[in-house]
Structure formats: C-alpha cells, structure tokens
Structure 1
C-alpha cells in the first residue's frame, strides 16, 4: 500500500541535476476533501510508478474543510487502489503556492477562474485544468461528487487517474 508522504516540505526545490526548479504540482478543488486529494493520490502513484522527481500537494479555494481529513468516500476509493489518504488534511490555497509550485491544477472551471483571480502578480506557476491534459476531455471539469453517492467518487477517481497519466506525460516531456 502506498503510504503518506513525509512531512510536507516548504519552499521551492532545485534539482540536483541543474539550476532549474524541479516540477511541483498543486491540485486544487473547492474544499480539498474530495477531488483534489484523489488527484494528488493518483498523481503521486503515477509519478512514483514512472520515477518522476516531483513535489505533490493539494489545496482548496474555500475554507470550510481546513484541517479536516478527506471525505470518508474519497478515502474508501483511494484505499481500494492501495492508497491511504486518511492522513491528508485540507488546506486553503495561499499566494505562496503560486510561486512554490510549477503547476497549479484546477479540478474544475470555477476553481480555475478563482485561481486566476487570486494569483499574485509575481506568481510563476502554470495554471491549468486537470482534464486539459486528457485527449478529448479538454475544457471539461471533474464533477464534484460531494453531494452524491459513492459511485460519484469512482468517476472522480477515474478522471483523476486519466489526468495523472496525462500530466505525468507532460511533465516528463518538460524535464
């Protein structure tokens, strides 16, 4: 089973190979308890599988769930894939995130619009929609499963996995 990462590090990272900032990806949804933790987990699994050197985290644009663990249904979906996300805790996007991360990935168009609005002028992160890296899904949002049943979380997981693979391809090409 994939465990949780060590303590979340702070500050920008430099690759040992060069002076270029290593890839760092932040996944963002509204509350940081459903979609973005699943996207973080799926991308962490894909990056590990490929041996990508990348920092990975998730956050929300809202404050309702700061400090809370992921929704129990999100935890259940991840656990079925061998990934324990029970130790993740919700947090809100900060201005520093736009400087720390190379890619800030929104799970839906509304959150992408919010990120564009709150991005500081010196923010260097590329902003993108997760499904923009999935062939035939460009411009589409990952549906929020929060108000639905557990089946919605399975759909969210499938979208997160597809996005993780597409984003890993993109980052591997950039490296």
Structure 2
C-alpha cells in the first residue's frame, strides 16, 4: 500500500498527516509507504512550517526529516491512494491525473463524520486544532485499511 497525502504547499497539513499516519502505522505494525506533496510549488525543498513541527512534536510526531515537494503526474501511478486535505486540492489533483492512472484520489476525511476538510493552520494559526482533526482522520484511515486488508478489498 502506497499513500500520498496532499495539501496546498506541503508544509502543514500533508506532512502532518504523513507523520501522524506513520506513527500510527508503526505502532500497529501496518506496512505502508508514505509521502506527502503540495499542489503548489512555493516551498519546494523546505521543511514543514516551524509551528507545525513544534505542535506535532508535542504529540510525539517527528516531521523534521520531511521536505516539501510538488505533486507530479508520476505520483498517480506510483501511489495507490492520493488523499487531499480539502476539496480544492482534491479538484486540482483530479485535474492533473492522467487518464487511466492507478491512484484512487479522495479526500483524507472522505466518509468520516465531522469535518470533511482539514483547515489550513498556515492561515487559521490553529495547529493543535488541525492536528486533532488529522489524528482522528489518520486513526480512522488506519482502521479502514486494516479492515480492507483483512477483507482483501478497499
């Protein structure tokens, strides 16, 4: 299973989702390849935003090694799932996807109760609130993937 988390600049939400999901998957012994990307190119090569790194670290999630990159056409064949943090990034990914690509593109919180989008803390400044949503979404995703793995269908 290969999952790409997607947001706008790849410095807050998607690296947080990658880091949180990696922590949960490691704890559960769930083998998965993870990455994150942004639809924009403003922060290429930069680490996640400092306040997001700090907020995640307070919860035990290490984002220091991550670096921003932009979504590419190749990602649509490299990953099984591309999970967007909001509808605009979902739309942008769908528009970029080559015909016949293998990746399933969906909202990270698709089908979950509560919010369907992860608010961008770069603008809201609510890094802890964002992480609350990301942690709940990551836990729900892990449960769905574990269930699908045992049922052999996702």
For the aligned pair, the TM-score class normalised by the smaller chain equals over 0.9
- The number of equivalent residue pairs is 149
Among candidates 52, 65, 73, match of residue 74 of structure 1: 52
Matches of 1:68 and 1:119 in 2, distance apart?
25
Structure 2: gaps spanning 5 or more residues: 150-154
Does structure 2 conserve the Cα–Cα contact (< 8 Å) formed by 1:133 and 1:163? no
Cross-structure match for 1:132 = 110
Cross-structure match for 1:24 = 2
Structure 1: gaps spanning 5 or more residues: 1-22
Pair 1:90 & 2:68 matched: yes
Cross-structure match for 1:146 = 122
Matches of 1:122 and 1:94 in 2, distance apart?
15
Pair 1:36 & 2:14 matched: yes
Following superposition, the deviation at residue 146 of structure 1 comes to 0.5
SS of residue paired to 1:59: strand
Using the TM superposition, name which of 86-95 and 124-133 deviates more: 124-133
CA RMSD, 1 decimal: 1.2
Cross-structure match for 2:133 = 159
Following superposition, the deviation at residue 172 of structure 1 comes to 1.0
Q: Which has the higher helix share?
A: 2
SS of residue paired to 2:62: coil
Matches of 1:121 and 1:61 in 2, distance apart?
18
Following superposition, the deviation at residue 81 of structure 1 comes to 1.5
Following superposition, the deviation at residue 174 of structure 1 comes to 2.1
Cross-structure match for 1:118 = 96
Pair 1:52 & 2:52 matched: no
